[in-house]
A and B are shown apart, each in its own frame.
Chain A
Amino acid sequence: MNSQTKAAPAVLLEDLSVDLGAGAILSGINLQVAGGETVALLGANGSGKTTLVKALMGLVPLSSGSAALYGSDVSARSTVPWSRIGYVPQRVNSSPSMSATAEEVVMSGLLSGRHLRPGPGSRDRARNALAEVGLAERADESVHLFSGGQQQRVLIARALIRQPGLLIVDEPLSGIDRASKAALAASLQRLRGAGTTIVVVLHELAELGSMIERAVVLDQGKVLQDGPLHGFAAGMHK
């Protein structure tokens, strides 16, 4: 880890704009997330939350501005410390007939950058990560037989196996049962307690409300409000 990586904020977006051909989806976004913060990205459907996450992971092209993780521009892929960053997508588009056990899916989280093989002890690490989300006993089962909430927990375990310093989670609560929501909230709470920086996209705060320190509200691709969650709530009531 170089000194730039140590000193830089976990996330830094400067004047970021994204235009995917049907007009600007994000425009002029400025956002800085310091190490250890827990930040919620809030907003209505179509406000640009998921696109913002994809932009900061380098998954969509920027029309202007920049996105950096730990001080490394995401467009220069090879310099980003990917092994320190955990990403949990909103959903996975794998074939429903694909044969893959929970352990195999979680082990794929050990790959990053030029590390194309998981290395020794990977099975134990996968099982430990699955234990953290309460699925250790189902490690050998096909993930397609899991409920939506259990699958989401597998994706969380896949991100946790790296022991990330920064965890980016896209809509973890949508479409899952109450028990899974509580399990997810407990997992994220433990990570927060361990000092992990968390950026979570939420449609509504629900079970995660108590752990959010700061809320960034998006509206039509722009930051409408950025501040402590309680301040945001007060502002909304005015």
Chain B
Amino acid sequence: MSADFWDTFAAMLASPLMQRALIIAVLVGTTAPVIGTYLVQRKLALVGDGIGHVALVGVAMGWLVGAAAGSTSVDAWAVPGAIGASITGALMIEYVRGKGKSSADVALALLFYGGIAGGVLIIGLAGGTSANLTGYLFGSISTVDQLDVWLTGGLSVLILGVGLGLRPALFALCHDEEFARASGLPARSLNILVAVTAALTVAISMRVVGVLLVSALMIVPVAVAQLIATSFRHTMALAMGIGGTVCVIGLSITYFHPLSPGATITMTSIALYAALAVLRPVIRPLHRHAKPHWHRSEKTHV
């Protein structure tokens, strides 16, 4: 590689802005797949998207509060607003899911659309325009400050504490919720904990990839890991490593080329998935595609 490349690379590492961005990228990249692993195993891969949409309302409400309070930086209330809205949205999604009604998908769709529309409307009331939401829609990791680093670090510790500390119980819940309930495990509390932790993950990932791609950071590394790993534990560990790596690579690419960090990180992880999917028969000939044997053909008798 040319000397120019290494000079630019050294300049990137020396830049305080890039240092903060890389720290956040590593934190979010390794944290998001932890909760993503549980969501994927429960066939709730798109829940992160739903929470992301609702988070936008929180961003806009944060703006509204900031504007009303005469805050010098109306952005200051955006992330706390997103955290509050994400948690509320996640609990609503969990409530609808728990009800198990056939109309649940319609209710969730209403929540998603309401999130985007509400965000745009409220930002208008706060005196802003939808352009002000762009940084939250597509990420704005290049604008993070020291407070963002500490906030992301604190929330990451919390998310990892739940995701790794309660892994056996959350695995039991994700693998077979009926068995978990029949074992007297606090399934309802654990479900709520997963929902709240997913909401916090969305809130911290928002600055990196934006609410429209937040789910990608939670889900794609897990999808990649599932191509290789056979155990739940290895899937999670591998997904964390992949998430952190693609975030750093994707972010670094944007230092060399004027590209969107969120989109670059997402496309990097999807490219990795595609490459591994193609190479999988070569690198893991014995790991065949999972067949749905688990579902026996007989009808459930009542």
Contact = CB atoms under 8 A, between A and B. Distances in A.
Interface of A: 25, 45-51, 57-59, 77-78, 80, 82, 85, 87, 89-101, 103-105, 107-109, 111-114, 116-118, 140-148, 151, 158, 171, 174-176, 201, 203
Contacts of B229: 99
12 contacts: A46-B302, A49-B301, A87-B179, A94-B174, A95-B41, A96-B294, A98-B40, A99-B226, A100-B175, A144-B293, A151-B293, A174-B298
Contacts of B292: 96, 144
- The size bracket of the interface on B is 35 or more
Contacts of A148: 293, 296
Contacts of A175: 296-298
A203 B182 CA distance: 22
B290 A111 contact: no
Interface stretch (B153-161, B230-238, B246-254): B230-238
Contacts of A105: 175
5 residue pairs, one from A and one from B, having the closest CB atoms: A82-B184, A175-B296, A96-B292, A108-B172, A144-B290
Contact of A113 (B185, B230, B288, B301): B185
Contact of A99 (B185, B235, B288, B296): B235
B169 A111 contact: yes
Nearest to A110: B168
B232 A100 contact: yes
Contact of A46 (B225, B233, B301): B301
Given A77-B184, A90-B301, A116-B185, A97 B290 contact: yes
Given A93-B178, A95-B42, A113-B185, 19 more contacts: A45-B302, A50-B301, A58-B182, A82-B183, A90-B300, A92-B176, A95-B41, A96-B292, A96-B293, A97-B40, A99-B231, A100-B232, A104-B232, A104-B233, A108-B180, A111-B168, A111-B180, A143-B294, A175-B296
Contact of A147 (B166, B293, B297): B293
B99 interface: no
Contacts of B301: 45-47, 49-50, 90, 171, 201, 203
B128 to A, nearest CB: 41
Given A111-B185, A140-B231, A116 B179 contact: no
Given A101-B230, A148-B293, A50 B184 contact: no
A145 B300 contact: no
Nearest to B297: A175
A78 to B, nearest CB: 8
A45 B302 CA distance: 7
Given A95-B43, A113-B183, A174 B296 contact: yes
B295 interface: yes
A185 to B, nearest CB: 18
A89 B178 contact: yes
A21 B232 CA distance: 37
B299 interface: yes
B294 A101 contact: no
A192 to B, nearest CB: 21
Contacts of B230: 99, 101, 140-142
Interface in B245-288: 288
Contacts of B172: 108, 111
A171 B300 CA distance: 9
Contacts of B186: 114
B178 to A, nearest CB: 6
Indicate the member of A58, A80, A116 with the most B CB atoms within 10 Å.
A116
Contacts of A141: 230
A142 B226 CA distance: 11
Contacts of B43: 95
Contact of B185 (A50, A112, A171): A112
Nearest to B222: A99
Given A90-B301, A97-B226, A101-B230, A158 B179 contact: yes
Contacts of A101: 230-232
A25 B169 CA distance: 32
Contacts of B176: 89, 92-94, 108
B169 A94 contact: no
Contacts of B296: 90-91, 148, 174-176
Nearest to B185: A111
A101 B233 CA distance: 9
Contacts of B297: 175
Contacts of B226: 97, 99
B290 A145 contact: yes
Nearest to B170: A116
A49 B39 CA distance: 32
B179 A89 contact: yes
B182 A57 contact: yes
Indicate the member of A85, A142, A151 with the most B CB atoms within 10 Å.
A142
